Structure 1
């Protein structure tokens, strides 16, 4: 059996980095938090903490109840990225590094002896020794191999920590019989409901599904691609085109009143529009999503002329929040999101005879927004703001 893909999944990566740098944390339960206070939640946990039931999303308060001896450290994403690049450099010496899939996951291409099971096993052993020798004994990973990236990724998550597993047409679907459908990457609870309605209730049924039927269930060619990969076909990752700019934010308790959440939402608009301009793009559709505790959420989408100015989108944002206010006033909000869609390039935008704008020319408001970008890039994010907001950084914004 030839294997094409090796998937590396670092074990409790954030916590392991912190334990490697601070020997006093080794062998002890550790939680990595998004915020430096007791109101936050864990974005990662060491295996010692996981043994007590602490996991991603566990609140600090609950983690202390589950594990009184747990230690906490604030997340340092830039540090983890530096370790990510060091791991990538090591792995690339042994095999062709195809993609860095996330801050703690890597995809490599297998060839030669490593395309066979024993050769791949030997390759993974040598990689583990190199990572431990060069970065530290706390840095471990689980590895999976398969005929395509999906099966390799699933295999890499079957045995943790420090594992090595493989999936192919000889052990599928039996090797996954103990998993539920929503344990597979890409199968959300909503998709699980669609599959159940189609009579697909376990992994064996999903693997046996006609790929054309899967396309209808997903209402997308991605369903057909997914099932064909489960069946062992080598289908490359589809190239993606930027479909939108935006962000969703699970709110910390101090930001869950609508008045505070609104200011966080303004901050998200500023971040999204700055990225929009950075890539030379415009957006013609704007959305707001608000999740409310213990009841159905609220969302609206409006169309606009193709634009990239922050003030223009903030005016639309304010109008949408005014519309939402009777519904959310006095409620506890759990998350918010803003999204810019109908993306095009500024250089392709048509002129406007009424405003006098030429093809690809920026409006005065857009030029003002670009000037703010310049000042913030030079003197630091938030030096110039478009009115009051409430920054709510998660671990991706921390250093």
Structure 2
């Protein structure tokens, strides 16, 4: 296992990305505290992103609007624009890759670059060049914080350290050279180490590991035991500067979820949103050239969650998936307690590749399935031609706030088709 002797990775994190994109696009928001919310200015929701100015006042993501207004009565509240953020992400990656090859895109606002033989000698100069390219060609209100280190994991931790500097949030840079380690790392709180969430911290506390220093001094085999798998040992080697990367995970499910606006919180209203999400998941399934054998539905009420799994033949056409959803909805109608539904999710799972699907000799409706697959392909081709949903099975109506199926998650950047 190789242990680099120089800085080899540059980790880049956009500062308050959603809010900073809003500031770049809307001059009235610039240099003002900004909070981004899912559906508009309503006291019943929370902030999904905040600007640098808001963070310096102590306002954080996931804070309620009411609490944010208590801290700053003048905070500017704006509704999210996911397609705008997707396009801003594409513009950013184009500018960054014009300076330095991108190694891995971790999320819509985080990515990692591997430094070449020239850049490793002056990572600070390369970081400045990247920042200048973004500022000059996209705009100065979208700022980047960066961390440079021997491997990607340490670079990400260095980036976190650089977020706050001299009392200012964002636009920072931390360079952790191998010869300076582990000093900078040991100054970090254990909760700031990627891969150590609340549950894992409890496991570490039970093993008498309370600090980053004690974690660093721990034996790698003990870390494997605490984690219950090889990831603990991988983390040990990453923290000690070895060039080790986690194995790429395979996609195991495709789905969408949605917080429901008030007018869709009935069983019938939530069904309309669920149908839309199921079709969008089916479209992603076909773009990945996959078939699914399971449909998972969950509905969240005030004090309870309802979950249900429907089994299917290996399918990827809209008709078959919507039939499975209808079966699930009949079960929901019989089992769900009376009351509003606040959130729902639809997920396809149990995948097989298209070229691995075999016809079932005992299935008597194969001709019907082939017909619906052909119909769905024709629908996809028409929608692709016009760049929007011009034809669908049943009514196609976005709920209030729009962007159903275009949600930006931590692990996935939506495609343009997700916004149709």
Whether TM-score is above 0.5 comes out as yes
Partner residue of 1:72 out of 74, 77, 93: 77
| Equivalent residue for 2:158, pick from 150, 155, 173 | 155
**Contact persistence 2:382–2:390 (CA under 8 A):** no
- Aligned counterparts of 1:302 and 1:211: Cα–Cα separation in 2: 42
Q: 2:21 aligns with which of 10, 17, 23?
A: 17
Shift of 1:132: 2.4
Aligned to 1:339: 347
What is the correspondence of 1:181-260 to structure 2 with a 5 Å cutoff? 181=191, 183-252=192-261, 254-260=263-269
Counterpart check, 1:377 vs 2:368: no
Say whether residues 1:138 and 2:141 are aligned partners.
yes
Match of 2:93 among 88, 94, 113: 88
Unpaired segments ≥5 residues, structure 2: 164-169, 409-417
Contact 2:9–2:114 (Cα < 8 Å) also in 1: yes
| Alignment gaps of 5+ in structure 1 | none
Q: Find the aligned partners of 1:68 and 1:370 in 2 and give their Cα distance.
A: 52
CA, structure 1 residues 378+97, in 2 after alignment: closer, same or farther (shift >3 Å)? Answer: closer
Q: Aligned in 2, Cα 1:13/1:301: closer, same or farther, shift over 3 Å?
A: same
Which of 330, 354, 368 is the aligned partner of 2:375?
A: 368
Which shifted more, 169-178 or 136-145?
A: 169-178
Aligned residue pairs: how many? 394
Give, in whole Å, the separation in 2 of the partners of 1:257 and 1:66: 35
Deviates more, 1:329-338 or 1:251-260: 251-260
Residue 3 (1) aligns with residue 13 (2): no
Partner of 1:48: 53
Partner SS state of residue 292, structure 2: strand
2:323 counterpart SS class: helix
Q: TM-score, normalised by structure 1?
A: 0.84
1:214 Cα shift? 3.6
CA contact (8 A) 1:311 1:386 kept: no
The farther-off stretch of 198-207 and 243-252 is: 198-207
Range with greater deviation from structure 2 (138-147 or 161-170): 161-170
Who is 1:124 aligned against? 127
Query: With structure 2 as the length reference, what TM-score do the two structures score?
Result: 0.80
